Amino acid sequence: MEESVTEVKAPEKGKDFLAYYKECFGLKKADAGMYSPLVLAYMGDAVYELMIRTKIVNGGNAQVNKLHKRSAALVKAETQAKIIRALEPHLTEEEMAVFRRGRNAKSMTMAKHATMTDYRTATGFEALVGWLFLAERFERLTELTAMGLREIGEHT
């Protein structure tokens, strides 16, 4: 029996990537509050990494190993911990609660070159990023990420 394939037309001009992606993959709206803090951190890790890689590549063409070194410096636990510490005064109560849940989650792993404190704090940051992404609060996600990078001296 042949499977039915639903064809999705290319997005109309102005239609955003995420809406088109969700349509093509048949994704439903996520309830960000229903995910465990470690699942939020898992998602946030990928989202933040993509944001940083996009920022680095936008700076111009370069050797891949140089791009990797620049992005690795911004995605490591120590840097993420600095970012979230700088952002704490700017977070809403709801955002702080998500951060705390992620920070306090018990993970079975730890980064090789991070202190336990930085690793847990970075996990909280990643949980917040994942939660904002899944809740489709893209403006706030972008605003906080840019602000955090500025606060630690990484101009955006």
- Are 36 and 102 in contact by the 8 Å Cβ rule? The answer is no
Q: For all residues of the chain together, what is the average pLDDT?
A: 90
pLDDT of residue 6: 56
What angle, 0 to 180 degrees and rounded to 10, lies between the N-to-C axes of helices 77-87 and 64-75?
50
Q: What is the pLDDT of residues 58-113, one digit of tens each?
A: 999 999 999 999 999 999 999 999 999 999 999 999 999 999 999 999 877 777 78
Confidence label for 114 from pLDDT (cuts 50, 70 and 90): confident
Domain count, the chain: 1
Residue 29 neighbours by CB distance under 10 Å: 9
pLDDT of residue 9: 62
Asked, for residue 24, whether it belongs to a domain, the answer is: no
Asked, for residue 7, whether it belongs to a domain, the answer is: no
SS3 30: coil
Following DSSP, what letter does each residue of 53-104 receive, concatenated?
Answer: HHHHHHT----HHHHHHHHHHHHSHHHHHHHHHHHGGG--HHHHHHHHHHHH
pLDDT of residue 111: 73
Asked, for residue 140, whether it belongs to a domain, the answer is: yes
Q: Is the pLDDT of residue 11 over 80?
A: no
Closest CA to 33 of 107, 134, 143, 104: 134
SS3 21: helix
Q: What is the CATH number of the domain that holds 121?
A: 1.10.1520.10
State pTM to two decimals: 0.88
Asked, for residue 132, whether it belongs to a domain, the answer is: yes
Q: Is the pLDDT of residue 134 over 80?
A: yes
Asked, for residue 66, whether it belongs to a domain, the answer is: yes
pLDDT of residue 86: 97
Write phi, then psi, for 63 (nearest 5 degrees). Answer: -65, 145
| Active site positions, annotated | 45
pLDDT of residue 76: 95
pLDDT of residue 17: 83
- Are 124 and 103 in contact by the 8 Å Cβ rule? The answer is yes
Residue 96 lies in domain: 30-151
Q: Is the pLDDT of residue 119 over 90?
A: yes
Asked, for residue 54, whether it belongs to a domain, the answer is: yes
pLDDT of residue 19: 84
Asked, for residue 16, whether it belongs to a domain, the answer is: no
Asked, for residue 77, whether it belongs to a domain, the answer is: yes
